Amino acid sequence: MARDDRTPAGVVGASPETAPFTITFDGRELPVLPGQSIAAALWSAGIFAWRSTRVGGRPRGAFCGIGQCYDCLATVNGRPNRRACLITARPGDAVTTQEGHGHAGLDT
């Protein structure tokens, strides 16, 4: 492998077959590459926190990246408590910051 190919995309041979698309985060449109998790898309946009803790309201985002720690919880398409590091972003997804336990204002 040539030294120039030692990028993350080059190492894994990544080459998106389809065009980038957008999702929204708190109403802001963000570009996403096919196959990116929601957490990766948020990171790519410079967003590192998308949840606040139940006690104290401290900001949280992705920590472990493998779905074990639950710090990356977000509300996705109106469903709270979704692990952003495990969900592949889809065109048109609406992601919002999750406050506390994520059920405020929901009937369920």
Domains of the chain: 22-99 (3.10.20.440)
* pLDDT value, residue 107: 47
Whether residue 19 has pLDDT greater than 70: yes
**Left if phi > 0, otherwise alpha if psi is -120 to 50, otherwise beta: which for 46?**
left
Whether residue 1 has pLDDT greater than 70: no
* pLDDT value, residue 100: 67
* pLDDT value, residue 25: 97
C-alpha to C-alpha distance for 57 and 3, rounded to whole angstroms: 45
Task: Give 20 or 101, the one with higher predicted confidence.
Answer: 20
- Smallest CA-to-CA distance from 34 within 103, 107, 93, 89 is with 89
pLDDT confidence bin for 71, thresholds 50/70/90: confident
